[in-house]
Every structure is written in structure tokens, then in C-alpha cells.
Amino acid sequence: MKRCDVCNKTSLLPENLGKVNICKICFLKVNGPAWKYKKIESMYELEKYHEKAISSAQKNDFPKQVIDEINNYFSQKKSTMERCDACGEERLTIIKMNEAKICKKCYSKIESKEWKNKNYTSREQLDAEKNKIIQIAQKSNYPKEAIKFINDTFESKVENNWMYTIDGNAGQILKVYKDYFSINTTNEFDIDGIAEEYAIICSEDHPKKNNQFSKSDAQNIVKGMMGSTGGLVKDMLVAGISKKSLTSKGINAITNKFTSGIESTIINAVGNAYDETYPEKKDFKQHKGERVYKYTDFEILEFRDIGDDTLGYLKFQNQNTIKNSDYDVLYFYDCDAKDDIIKLMPKVYSYMKKKINKKEKETNKENNSKTETNNSAIIEDIKKFKELLDMGAITQEEYDKKKKQLLDL
């Protein structure tokens, strides 16, 4: 229990202000809870509370030592405030941006939470966001140091020469740079599931793609048509089954050519032909972890947009190894990827295609340059031998022979 320095009554839990104690009732007379337990941000608001508190204290005949302690309390609060370099007001919460001081109110205008923790998919997207935030900051009178801080924060989010980051929701992350790219195949990559989808999208007339019957459906059709009759030469049946014949009409036409016999052989033959024509999976080689590739490693880039399929891909190939799929580099993305990623993929393809084509152009240019250099050297050599002929140093026959050699005739 302590005695109140205003009303002189004892109080169980008095409010302490410096050297004085004030009971709850007296504290309410100066609206104490509103300014002691509230986080007052602006100097203007703090001064208003100060003025009202002193006015109320004087009206209620608070002793001088209590009024002095109220003044001391507000003076200490005012000393913690700093001037904002944007709005010029003195405020409690100040954010440091390099050497610049920005108050909470001004800082909220640039909505930092939205861009400071954001993962950008492209350099273009990042630059657009950066320019937008800088424009807002400039309109809000941010000083140069604060503008530089914003610019540096954006730049720190990207690696050197970075252009795109694509997470296609298929367990692979593609990062595109100016001179190279990387593909990170994570443990979430379902190679068996992807291989099945890959087989379907690579075959335009695949039954699964067109909601047609499966291998077991084809076998059941044959089983139903043959009944107890049959008889065939297996090789003849297999030879007769093709993509066009893998329909109920086509199978019917083939089986009608044969009489009683081995029903299981027919069924197996149809199943084997189906598997050969429409493989369940399209195998490809895939390395787990991150791998880095140069654009100069490839001459061919194939792009499959999602469209009506559930899977899209980029396939990088080298002309020398195009017949060996083990050397193919594949990046997959699926229809469950974010809309902005799916829309971005054609642009990523276009960018990478230009990088790969640039190598081809530079190679052609280099070859043409070498050809021109060789041609110039040949012409100079022919001129020298012509001078020797004119001088009589060699015969016409020797000159003609040398000329043919140089011209590779």
C-alpha cells in the first residue's frame, strides 16, 4: 500500500510517475491510461495529450511536484522521437534506410512487406515492381539515400545476369541467365508419372489422349469376337496390326481373316502390338539435383506448351547426339503451375531460343569468314604463279597444274 501524492489516500496499486505515486482515481482525472499505455506515434498527438493532462491536473489541484513529474514524463517521450526525412514530422517509430530516417507512416506507403519477401519469376517483373516502388517513394519525398536503399534491396534479391526463375510444379526449377541456365530436379520429381504423361503428349493419336480404349479394352474386344472359334498364325496377326487397326473395327477386320484356334495367342498379339504402338512410358534420362548448361551446348530447342495437355516441356538437344535420347535435357512443367508461370513459358522459350540460335549464327559467320579468308589466299597464290609464268620461271603446263590444285578442280 502506498499513499497517493494527490489525494493523500492509500492505494494498493498506484501509478508511478518518477518520484510520485498516484492512485487510480486521480490518474483517471488526467486521462492517464490514454497517454501512459498508448503508443503515441506523432509529436503533434503527444503534445495534445500533454496539454490536456496538465490542464486537467491544474483544474483538480494536483500538487506542483505531481505536475512536474507529468511534464518530465512527456519530455522523456518527446526525446525519443526523431524527425522523418520524408514528411519532416517528429515521430516515435523511425525506420533507417541507409542514412535516411523514414517514419512508420511514410514507410507504409511503399508497402514493403509485399515486395521485400517476394520471390520474382523474371527480371522484367522485378524491375517493374522496383520502378513502381521508387516512383511512390519519390512522390512521398523520400531522400536519395532512401531511394538507393530501395534499389539496393531489389538488386540484392537477384543473382548476376539472372533473367527468369520458373517453378512449374512438376518437381523441377528452371533458372535462366544471360549466358547459361540451370535445372534443379528435386526429390518431388515423379519420373514414372512424368514418363507416362510424356508418352501421351508425344503421340498425337494416343488412345489415352483421345479418351479411346486401352490395351485391356482391345484384348477384351478380341476375346468377345473370337468365342470358341479361332486359329491363326501369330506372326501374321502381329504384322497386320498397326496404329490404324487398333480400333474395334480394325481388330474385327483382322480377326475375321482367321478361323478357329488359339484365342490367347490373338489376345497376346493384340496386347503386344498395342504396347509397341502406344508405349506406357516414354523413357528419358534425368539427373537429380541442380545442373548447369551453356546455351552453346545445344543447337535445338523444342517447346511444348500445355494447351489441352496436362504437361508441357522444354527439350534441349545437340545435333551430334539427337538420335540418343540419353543426351536430351528436359524441363517439365504442368497445368497446376501458377497462371503467371504458364503465361511466362512462351516468353522464356523465345528468349532461350534466341540464345541458342545466336550460337548458330556466330558459327556460320565464323565459317563464312574462314571461307572468305581461304578464298583470298588462293587468289593471291594464283596471282603469284601467274607472275612466275609471265616471267618465264614456270611453263604453262606447270601453271595450269598448280592452278587446278589451288582451286581443287
pLDDT digits (tens, 9 = 90+) for 255-291: 555 544 455 666 666 666 665 556 667 778 888 899 9
Higher pLDDT, 236 or 270: 270
Give me the pLDDT at residue 365, please: 47
Mean pLDDT of the chain: 82
CA distance 299 to 46: 70
Spatial contact of 102 and 146, defined as CB atoms under 8 Å apart = yes
Q: Is 171 left (phi over 0), alpha (psi -120 to 50) or beta?
A: left
DSSP 8-state secondary structure symbol assigned to residue 323 = T
Give me the pLDDT at residue 87, please: 95
Question: What pTM, to 2 d.p., does this model score?
Answer: 0.62
* Residue pLDDT, tens place only, 345-395: 999 999 999 999 875 544 544 454 555 556 667 777 777 877 877 777 778
Give residue 241's pLDDT band: very low, low, confident or very high (50, 70, 90).
Answer: very low
Q: What is the mean pLDDT of residues 236-265?
A: 50
Domain ranges of the chain: 2-80, 94-158, 203-277
Q: Cβ neighbours of residue 224 under 8 Å, at least 6 residues apart?
A: none
Give me the pLDDT at residue 238, please: 42
* Residue pLDDT, tens place only, 140-167: 999 999 999 999 999 888 888 899 999 9
Give me the pLDDT at residue 131, please: 95
pLDDT beyond 50 at 136: yes
Q: What is the mean pLDDT of residues 217-227?
A: 57
Beta carbons within 10 angstroms of residue 112's beta carbon: 15
Give residue 50's pLDDT band: very low, low, confident or very high (50, 70, 90).
Answer: very high
Q: What is the mean pLDDT of residues 60-73?
A: 96
Higher pLDDT, 229 or 66: 66
Q: Which of these, 340, 315, 339, lies nearest to 164 by C-alpha position?
A: 340
Give me the pLDDT at residue 397, please: 83
CA distance 254 to 220: 15
Spatial contact of 269 and 222, defined as CB atoms under 8 Å apart = no
Higher pLDDT, 157 or 408: 157
Q: Hey, what's the cell of 266?
A: 490373338
Q: Which of these, 119, 184, 192, 191, lies nearest to 158 by C-alpha position?
A: 119
Give me the pLDDT at residue 239, please: 42
Spatial contact of 165 and 269, defined as CB atoms under 8 Å apart = no
Give residue 188's pLDDT band: very low, low, confident or very high (50, 70, 90).
Answer: very high
Handedness of CA 279, 284, 288, 291 (dihedral sign): negative
Give me the pLDDT at residue 235, please: 40
Spatial contact of 344 and 121, defined as CB atoms under 8 Å apart = yes
Q: Is 181 left (phi over 0), alpha (psi -120 to 50) or beta?
A: beta
Beta carbons within 10 angstroms of residue 99's beta carbon: 12
User: What is the CA angle 88-53-89, rounded to 5?
Assistant: 5
Of 251-255, 287-291, 332-336, give the lowest mean pLDDT range: 251-255
* Residue pLDDT, tens place only, 385-398: 778 777 777 788 88
Give me the pLDDT at residue 236, please: 41
* Residue pLDDT, tens place only, 301-328: 999 998 777 889 999 999 888 888 888 9
Handedness of CA 120, 124, 127, 133 (dihedral sign): negative
Q: What is the mean pLDDT of residues 58-78?
A: 96
